[in-house]
């Protein structure tokens, strides 16, 4: 019986040692001396010659210290709407968009959709190929305004088939009301 008890105790000690070593290895692997992070410069950039900053007009980079200088490499960048230099990817000036544009300027509560200002596959001077662009404006619900397309049932969920959603006229809290959306693919 003594041998049997000693063998069991030895196996328990060995399993505790293995467990201890496993925990030590896991701890060592889990803590490293290297830290990886992303640098966030306090300036704007123009990837693919498109102004990713806090304005919507071409040729302007809001956080650029050399803004407006023709020798600045960011001068002439494209953006959502046509500005001082560069191109605007959204067609807001054509006759086809005149009615919607004028209604938006008069502060009417309408839906509007503006498409790309160039033809599909347009190749700009920097060899960037434009594939598509869209600006979509939804109705807003501030004041007495109502939106013609709000979810009508509490059972409408993102993962459901959109054909089964119930849409109605109504109002939503302003904090939940997404009004403007832009998209562009180069």
| Contact criterion met (CB below 8 Å) for 170 and 146 | yes
- Calculate mean pLDDT across residues 67-92: 76
The number of residues in the chain equals 186
Across the range 54-73, mean pLDDT stands at: 68
pTM: 0.61
137: alpha, beta or left, given left = phi > 0 and alpha = psi -120 to 50?
beta
pLDDT of residue 103: 81
pLDDT at 8: 62
Tell me: the pLDDT tens digits for 114-133? 899 899 999 988 888 999 99
Please give the structure tokens belonging to residue 151: 């979810």
Determine the Cα–Cα distance for residues 183 and 65; give it in Å rounded to an integer.
Answer: 27
Q: Which two tokens stand for residue 27?
A: 């701890």
Give the pLDDT of residue 74.
56
Q: Does residue 73 or residue 146 have the better pLDDT?
A: 146
> Domain locations in the chain?
1-36, 47-185
Which own/partner contact pairs does 6-15 have at CB distance under 8 Å and 24+ positions apart? none
How far is the C-alpha of 72 from the C-alpha of 63, rounded, in Å?
Answer: 13
Tens-digit pLDDT profile for residues 5-60: 666 666 666 777 778 787 777 777 777 666 566 666 656 667 778 877 778 888 87
Question: Considering the chain, what is the average pLDDT of its residues?
Answer: 77
Measured distance CA(139)–CA(110) in Å, rounded: 5
């Amino acid at each position: 019986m003594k041998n049997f008890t000693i063998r069991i105790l030895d196996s328990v000690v060995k399993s505790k040692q293995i467990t201890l070593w496993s925990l030590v290895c896991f701890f060592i692997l889990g803590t490293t001396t290297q830290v990886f992070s992303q640098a966030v410069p306090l300036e704007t950039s123009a990837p693919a010659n498109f102004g990713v900053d806090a304005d919507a007009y071409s040729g302007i980079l809001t956080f650029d210290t050399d803004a407006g200088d023709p020798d600045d490499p960011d001068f002439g960048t494209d953006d959502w709407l046509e500005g001082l230099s560069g191109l605007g990817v959204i067609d807001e000036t054509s006759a086809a968009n005149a009615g919607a544009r004028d209604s938006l300027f008069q502060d009417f509560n309408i839906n509007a959709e503006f498409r790309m200002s160039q033809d599909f596959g347009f190749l700009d001077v920097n060899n960037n190929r434009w594939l598509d662009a869209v600006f979509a404006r939804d109705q807003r619900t501030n004041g007495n305004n109502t939106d013609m397309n709000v979810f009508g049932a509490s059972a409408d969920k993102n993962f459901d088939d959109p054909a089964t959603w119930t849409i109605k006229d109504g109002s939503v809290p302003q904090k939940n009301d997404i009004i403007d959306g832009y998209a562009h693919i180069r």
